[in-house]
Chain A
Amino acid sequence: MTDLSPAIRAAARRLLSDGLVDVVIGFEAGTLPLRSSPCFVRDAADVDRLVWNMSCENNLAKYLPRRRERVGVIAKGCDTRSIVGLLKEGQIQRERLHIIGVPCRGVIDRRRIESELAGREAIDLQEREGEVLLRGDGFEIALEKERYLHTSCRACRSRNPVICDTVIGDPVAEDTSADEYATVREFEAMSAGERWQFFAAEASRCIRCYACRNACPLCYCAECFVDSTQPRWLSPSTDATDALVFQIMRVMHTAGRCVDCGACERACPVGLDLRLLTKKVEKDVEELFHHKAGLDPREPAPLSTFSPDDPGDFIR
């Protein structure tokens, strides 16, 4: 498989030296074997910092709202869908943004890999066709990459950029074979009591660090409802009810907007199953309004428009 890093560097160099953008937001090598880290390159001489690999897990659309500079951004398929959403919501200006789209083969789930290592520590990670090679003190193992992709990548329907100015590398085949809502269907089949138990158990582990909210490109509100003190909508305590209300409100705010990039779940330090909630809302919106977020900048957002044909079954 081709290393796309040189092509990304070349694109960034061109944009910066031609003065088309002030900054390129991409990824640089991380400090840990399973990590890459967002980086901001402003000088064409620094573009060699940029890398592209299967640990580029953040959604860089997060950094776009309220930015005064003209930006070039490296974007995976899901990231471009977030950008579409931000454009539609008037949070970014298209003419000040250059999207360097990268067809994506998925990012790895570092926590699953770590649990597979069962206490052993990887000090080096390499990618070989279809395999993740991990090396540590006295061990070397190869894992089948497909099985260790993040769950959002395994359910992904938009590996290729849906909007971009420069595309890096060849398109990748979209995979629609798996049921993206499989876990949601299992969840829906549970009784109300079982679902409540699941919610309560997850919420009791939430530490209210807001990593999920802050990693999400949709969460750009100047003041989040949880931070409002006048009036105060929600107690900042870790009481399971407060944590649950926080998560439910957060997820409901993503209805019709979430593109299932999985950034929230990857940011969560305690491994909450956050995608189950967002995916359920995504499925509801798709069934009720036949809408998939972040595919078409011209298509109106289902929850901010009214149509006489909108489903009204909930009004009784």
Chain B
Amino acid sequence: MRAALLAKDQMPALLGALLQDHEVFAPVNDGGVIAFRRVDSAQQVLLHYHNSTLPPKGLFFPQTETLFAYSLERGQLALEEPQPASRAQVLFGVRPCDARSFTLMDRVFAGGNQCDGCYLARRENFTVVGLSCTSPKATCFCTSVGGGPFSATGSDLLVTDLGTNYLVEAVTDKGALLLESVGGHREADEDSVRRRREAQASAEAALRGAIRTEGMERRLQEMWDDPFWDRLHEKCIGCGVCTYLCPTCHCFDIVDEDSEQRGCRLKLWDSCMFPLFTQHASGYNPRPTGKERWRQRLMHKFRYWAESHGEAGCVGCGRCVVNCPVNLDIRQVLNEIESLSRRSQ
């Protein structure tokens, strides 16, 4: 069955069935912060929410990851390597923008000729259940960067709230298998498919935060020395909110923690907005101020990504827009770049 219909009151039972054979990670409200956490019961799961405060990327790319640890006892060296999860895992209720971010992240950690084995193992062990956005926020702009509120990219199953029912669509074979393994649903009828289409059209129409990103790559190629960068960063306080809350930011640092008897090597999130990010051992810093850091962040997302992968490194979730302490809004920045280049033509 590729599309199933589930009565709304059956959702707890479906989650319960998933919990029997899987570790389930789902959006929960933790003191006002919505985050993807491991849940033990269906009651903990948020089914009505705009989007999580923190992106789910940490499940595949943990903020702090131990690559290996060692200890030395009586001349004996013991090496500890990370162990893969023992049970199959489900990421439930992830929004289409975030689901799409996983496919972007895959290009970095599991694409081409380099592959991060730990990342790949986590990705493969997870089945991703997406949740269509029936009411996007005013800060959402997924449709401006190649996504959509009902996009199935990155999801194995896509769940859509149709009011009284959920429509559950299998996007991949992995998703179809998961759907088969849990009961309580029936084959979707034509009416549901029609209602899903209508819901999608209305969600897409509701996306007010549209920005003009077409040709952004070319514009940025011509802007390296533009005086625009001199003032852009001025209000930025240089914190890591935009990058740490970004579902596609993937820069990391490697740090060794050691004492005489034991130690470990850590892989940690890092942020191009931090001065230390590019500081050389000599003390020289090629990106000494916010100007170079902001230029890098913009160029990386909207130029280098596009040059390397054919699409922008942004999924339009709007987290950086909502949470920036000084309301330095990337949508406004992109629109300014667009109008600047229009003026210069």
Interface residues of A (CB under 8 A from B): 30-32, 35-40, 58, 62-63, 111, 115, 119, 121, 123, 205, 207-211, 213-215, 227, 229, 235-239, 266-267, 269-271
Contact = CB atoms under 8 A, between A and B. Distances in A.
Contact of A36 (B237, B323, B327, B329): B327
B10 interface: no
Contacts of A35: 327
A312 B175 CA distance: 67
Interface in B119-154: 137-139
A201 to B, nearest CB: 9
B138 A119 contact: no
Nearest to A37: B327
Given A31-B321, A119-B50, A38 B326 contact: yes
16 contacts: A31-B332, A32-B321, A58-B326, A111-B32, A123-B138, A205-B31, A209-B240, A210-B240, A213-B239, A235-B255, A236-B255, A237-B64, A239-B64, A266-B325, A267-B241, A270-B53
Contacts of B53: 269-270
Contact of B275 (A111, A227, A237, A270): A227
B234 interface: yes
A32 B255 contact: no
A267 B32 contact: no
A30 B323 CA distance: 13
B235 interface: yes
A298 to B, nearest CB: 30
Interface of B: 30-33, 48-50, 53-54, 63-64, 137-139, 231, 234-235, 237-241, 244-245, 253, 255, 257, 266, 268, 271, 274-276, 321-323, 325-329, 331-332
B246 to A, nearest CB: 11
A229 B235 contact: no
Given A111-B32, A115-B32, A207 B48 contact: no
Nearest to B49: A119
B286 to A, nearest CB: 17
Residue of A205, A215, A269 most packed against chain B (CB within 10 A): A269
Contacts of B327: 30-32, 35-37
CB-CB nearest 3 A-B residue pairs: A267-B325, A37-B327, A209-B240
A109 to B, nearest CB: 11
Contacts of B325: 58, 211, 214-215, 266-267
A57 to B, nearest CB: 9
Contacts of B231: 40
Nearest to B332: A31
A2 B256 CA distance: 58
Given A119-B50, A227-B276, A236-B253, A40 B240 contact: no
A64 B39 CA distance: 46
A39 B235 contact: yes
A209 B55 CA distance: 14
Contacts of B276: 227, 229
A76 to B, nearest CB: 16
B341 to A, nearest CB: 21
A39 B33 CA distance: 29
B239 A270 contact: no
Given A38-B235, A40-B235, A237-B266, A271 B32 contact: yes
Contact of B31 (A37, A40, A271): A271
Given A38-B235, A236-B253, A238-B64, 4 more contacts: A40-B231, A209-B239, A236-B255, A267-B239
Residue of B238, B240, B331 most packed against chain A (CB within 10 A): B240
Residue of A62, A210, A238 most packed against chain B (CB within 10 A): A210
Contacts of A36: 327
A132 to B, nearest CB: 18
B48 A119 contact: yes
Contact of B237 (A111, A119, A214, A229): A214
A214 B293 CA distance: 15
A236 B239 contact: no
A43 to B, nearest CB: 12
B331 A31 contact: yes
A30 B328 CA distance: 9
Nearest to B268: A236
A267 B328 CA distance: 13
A236 B267 CA distance: 10
Contact of B63 (A111, A214, A238): A238
Contact of A40 (B49, B234, B244, B271): B234
Contacts of A205: 30-31, 33
Contacts of B239: 209-211, 213-215, 267
A215 B323 CA distance: 13
Nearest to A267: B325
Nearest to B139: A32
A231 B32 CA distance: 37
Contacts of B64: 237-239
A31 B329 contact: yes
B209 to A, nearest CB: 9
A275 B49 CA distance: 28
Nearest to A263: B325
Contacts of B235: 37-40, 63
A37 B53 CA distance: 21
B88 to A, nearest CB: 26
Given A32-B322, A40-B231, A235-B255, A271 B275 contact: no
Contacts of B33: 205, 270-271
Contacts of A237: 64, 255, 257, 266, 268
